[in-house]
Structure 1
Amino acid sequence: MTFLQKILFNKITLVIVLIGLGIGGYKAWKAYTKPPLEANYKFYTLEKGDVTQSVSANGTLNPLVLVTVGTQVSGKVIKLYVDFNDRVEKGQILAELDPALLDAQAAQSAANVKSAEASLELAIANEKRSRELLAKEYISKQEFDTTVQALKAARAALDLARAQAQKDKTNQGYTIIRSPVSGVVVDRQIDVGQTVAASLQAPVLFKIAQDLRQMQIDSNFAEADIGRIKVGQAVTFAVDAFPNLSFSGVVRQVRLNATTVSNVVTYDVVVKVENPDEILIPGMTAYVNVIIAEKKNVLMVPNAALRYRPTSLQGNATSMGMKVKNEKKEGGFGIVYVLENGVPKPVKVRVGITDNRMSEIESDTLKEGDMIISEELKANGAQGSKSSHPPMRPF
């Protein structure tokens, strides 16, 4: 080997050594800076707490007792004494109708009564006279019977005239519209000068809420939820007018009459509501939650942890002989995962009630303080932390 060949060989050897050192150093640097396997997951620390399960629906706030005030006679409104939101007492005058026509009818009936009284007096006198003549045999028995019948007809005519007079007098009283209950006027549908006509159905003049401190919510619940709703269950609800306030009530009635709209069956659930400050107003939309179950101091997991499946198991039907499902139903079994030797390990748990965010679980192997996987960050393209310890609680 010549001198030049030795020099070339030494240079090639040096380059190979340097390349090897570079590759080794790069691998060592990658190994040093590579995040631990734990950094690929988001964890949740098991803890005990309270879980409240509820079913939800929308409803409308209504007065507990809403009385519709109408009129039994026709006439023109000549006076109004109350308006919207006015408080009224039982028997208070609300409005007056023009009584002119009914006054005339009452006067006519009174005159008919006097005429019937006069006819009765004449019939009595004729009957008395006929009786005397019959005793002296000046008239026949048939003629006497005719006078007796005339007397009875006169008495009946007087009773009829008096009944008609009483009816017309009563109708006179109906021209004054009075409140049947104490409460608040929530609706007025007449104005002065308007003519109201009472025919087959009494026209609506006013609507009076008997007591706005006692209200109810008429809510429509789906048939899938109605079997779990019982009278006496606690209710929480909110209204748009007070977004920062939460109100409470109690289920008063589950009505059996179903409503079907577009093949969707719902049932009216009536919720009794206390409204001592009268801030809730009839007609408000209420977002109702009926509390159907409550558990205190139980082991809880996020629903996301029950739905989690490792990427390595996607498409596999089983893990450790247990069927993996995305949805875990109340009262059934579910699977959560713990990290063991850098690999997600499934743990079978019994799932209890849920509030749609957290679920109650029971397990023979898991206890308070254990860490379970709630999310796989690598699957979402997230970067893991360099720390060798998993975060205590990322939520």
Structure 2
Amino acid sequence: MKTNPQTSRRLLLGGLALALVGALAFVALRTGPLAPVKVQVTPVTKGRVTPEIFGIGLVEAQRSWMVGPTTAGRVLGVRVDAGQTVQPGQVLAEMDPVDLDQRLAALDASLARAQSVQRAADAQLGDAQARRTLAMANLKRNEELARQAFISPGALEARTQEVASAHAGVAAAQANLGGSTQDIARLRAERAALAQQRSNLRLLAPGAAVVTAREAEAGTTVVAGQAVLRLMDPASLWVKLRVDQGRSAGLAPGLVASIALRSRPGETLIGKVARVESLADAVTEERLAMVAFDSLPAGVSVGEMAEVTVQLPAAPERLLLPNAAVVQHEGKTGVWRLTDGVPAFSPVVLGAQGLDGQVQVLEGLNEGDTVVLYSQTALKPGARIAVVDRLVPSGAAR
């Protein structure tokens, strides 16, 4: 029996079509949109997490000063330069006194004149008191004579008037003496104020410090409060630490910290959280803390970057899970848990987290549960999955 060539051609084409459809179905089921999602899984285990807080900071000085005049003036001279060490009370710079020295000399002359006036007033008081004593003695004698009718009443009245005038003279002399004393006190106060102004023109070191900047030179005119020199206490260096607000739970003074300076790679310095600022940075959403060195190393520069790891108290034993397994689904935090090989979203309550990527699971899972660690694409409940050891073959990722 002979086969019709046209029929053979149709059978061949049909076979090819079936093979092509089968190949397309195979590709769609294995590598296409219908293929199972490749996932990497991990078990839920029990253990302890050592919570730590990591942040970046800058080395700053706890005590620093801006040394400048209290009144506007011209810089007469600067005696120190940046980098020099100064001692308490050392003269750092001096302002031009202009006419302060002449005004002090004028006040000294006025004070000397006021003291002369005071001595004259004191002498006048002594003279007035002597006159009053004599007038009172004369009045007493005339009263005795008047009782014996040896003098007239008019003569007795004249002696009485002399006593009253003597009292008035003493009061006037006392007033003059008091006025001269007040003049001297005023002049002394004015001189003390002027001398203080003159003393303020000498800019002194407030403590043992290092000059960090020289802001003005001789001949420069500065205003009140403007810095001529900037100082800092080299023994008061600490790190101003910035920590993400979402990872700052438990940050408190007294916690031990490990400090790694950029200038000292591989070297770890021990410190302690000295203060946690009550005002956070609303722009960067960071909390600020000051970390002090236990032993300040030599050669640390202000403004140097530092990486700080703060150690929190050890957490109790709980269920642990890699942080990479935690996802957000429909506004909830949870994981994809496998039940009979089928993923289902399970909301969880998380606890403390360590820098090694482990996080505590407080609610939502049991020990031994299997959860999805990584997935090739976003999962949906009931999705077909294929568990693999690695999502990226060894040597493919770089």
Question: Shorter chain as normaliser: what TM range?
Answer: 0.5 to 0.7
Partner of 1:321: none
Q: 1:95 aligns with which of 93, 96, 121?
A: 93
> In the TM superposition, what is the alpha-carbon distance from 1:104 to its structure 2 partner?
1.4
Alignment partner of 1:84: what SS?
A: coil
Contact in 1 for aligned 2:54/2:307 (Cα 8 Å) = no
Contact in 1 for aligned 2:121/2:177 (Cα 8 Å) = yes
Q: 2:221 aligns with which of 166, 187, 195?
A: 195
Contact in 1 for aligned 2:49/2:359 (Cα 8 Å) = no
Counterpart-to-counterpart distance in 1, 2:253 and 2:217? 43
**How high is the TM-score relative to the length of structure 1?**
0.66
Contact in 2 for aligned 1:53/1:294 (Cα 8 Å) = no
Counterpart-to-counterpart distance in 2, 1:364 and 1:142? 106
Q: 2:199 aligns with which of 173, 176, 182?
A: 173
| 2:189 pairs with 1:154 | no
Q: Which has the larger radius of gyration?
A: 2
Give the residue type in structure 2 aligned to 1:104.
Answer: Q
Say which structure is richer in strand: 1
**How high is the TM-score relative to the length of structure 2?**
0.66
Partner of 2:359: 359
Alignment partner of 2:228: what SS?
A: strand
Contact in 2 for aligned 1:53/1:291 (Cα 8 Å) = yes
> In the TM superposition, what is the alpha-carbon distance from 1:123 to its structure 2 partner?
1.0
Partner of 1:80: 78
Partner of 1:276: 297
Partner of 1:52: 51
**Counterparts in 2 of 1:359 and 1:269: CA distance versus 1, 3 Å:** same
Give the residue type in structure 2 aligned to 1:160.
Answer: R
Q: How does 1:205-216 map to 2 (within 5 A)?
A: 205-216=228-239
Structure 1 stretch displaced more, 181-190 or 135-144: 135-144
Give the residue type in structure 2 aligned to 1:361.
Answer: V
> In the TM superposition, what is the alpha-carbon distance from 1:52 to its structure 2 partner?
3.0
Q: Where do 5+ consecutive residues of structure 2 fail to align?
A: 136-161, 380-385
> In the TM superposition, what is the alpha-carbon distance from 1:69 to its structure 2 partner?
1.8
Q: 1:301 aligns with which of 312, 318, 321?
A: 321
Post-superposition CA distance 1:265-310 (Å, at most 9, x none): 978633123242343414x5667776667547765433342328xx
Give the residue type in structure 2 aligned to 1:279.
Answer: V
Give the residue type in structure 2 aligned to 1:207.
Answer: R
Partner of 1:144: 170
> In the TM superposition, what is the alpha-carbon distance from 1:41 to its structure 2 partner?
2.5
Give the residue type in structure 1 aligned to 2:112.
Answer: K
Partner of 1:65: 63
Give the residue type in structure 2 aligned to 1:203.
Answer: Q
- The Cα RMSD (Å) is 4.9
Q: Where do 5+ consecutive residues of structure 1 fail to align?
A: 1-5, 309-323, 329-333, 381-387
> In the TM superposition, what is the alpha-carbon distance from 1:150 to its structure 2 partner?
0.7
Q: 1:108 aligns with which of 106, 109, 112?
A: 106
Partner of 1:231: 253
| 2:40 pairs with 1:43 | yes
Give the residue type in structure 1 aligned to 2:208.
Answer: S
Post-superposition CA distance 1:231-254 (Å, at most 9, x none): 334556778777887777544334
